[in-house]
Amino acid sequence: MTASGIRSDATSKGGASHRFADARVIQFTPRKRASRAPIVDPLRRLEIDENRRRMQQNLAAAIVVILLTAAGTWLLEELRQSCLEAAHNCVLLDARRH
């Protein structure tokens, strides 16, 4: 033992392994880390959420455009059929003329 109270060897009375001989000094051991998910940068997380939202909005816009195109095609076909059936003086559009 030295003058400061620290033992030079790693064992104390009774054979237990202690670094310090002074009972007032407590030896702290680091905790073992629990396996957690990796830390993600908050800005990166915001960017991922923003990209997901943008993809959802693009999908919704594409569905709306497809539905409007289908509804317009159906409406034009119905108008053409009703004009032909009624035998009115209808102007038929011919796409081959242009």
| Average predicted confidence (pLDDT) for the chain | 77
- For the whole model, what pTM was predicted? 0.48
Q: What is the pLDDT of residue 96?
A: 62
- Measured CA to CA, the distance from residue 10 to residue 19 in angstroms comes to 5
Among 5-9, 19-23, 54-58, the range with the most confident prediction by mean pLDDT is: 54-58
How many DSSP H helices and E strands does the chain contain?
1, 0
Confirm if 17 and 11 have CB atoms less than 8 A apart. Answer: yes
> Does 84 have pLDDT greater than 80?
no
Confirm if 20 and 7 have CB atoms less than 8 A apart. Answer: yes
Lowest mean pLDDT of 12-21, 24-33, 58-67, 87-96, name the range. Answer: 12-21
Q: What is the pLDDT of residue 25?
A: 79
Exposure class string for 38-70: b at 16+ Cβ within 10 A, else e: eeeeeeeeeeeeeeeeeeeeeeeeeeeeeeeee
**pLDDT by residue (tens digit) across 53-81?**
999 999 999 999 999 999 999 998 888 88
Q: What is the pLDDT of residue 27?
A: 78
Q: What is the pLDDT of residue 35?
A: 73
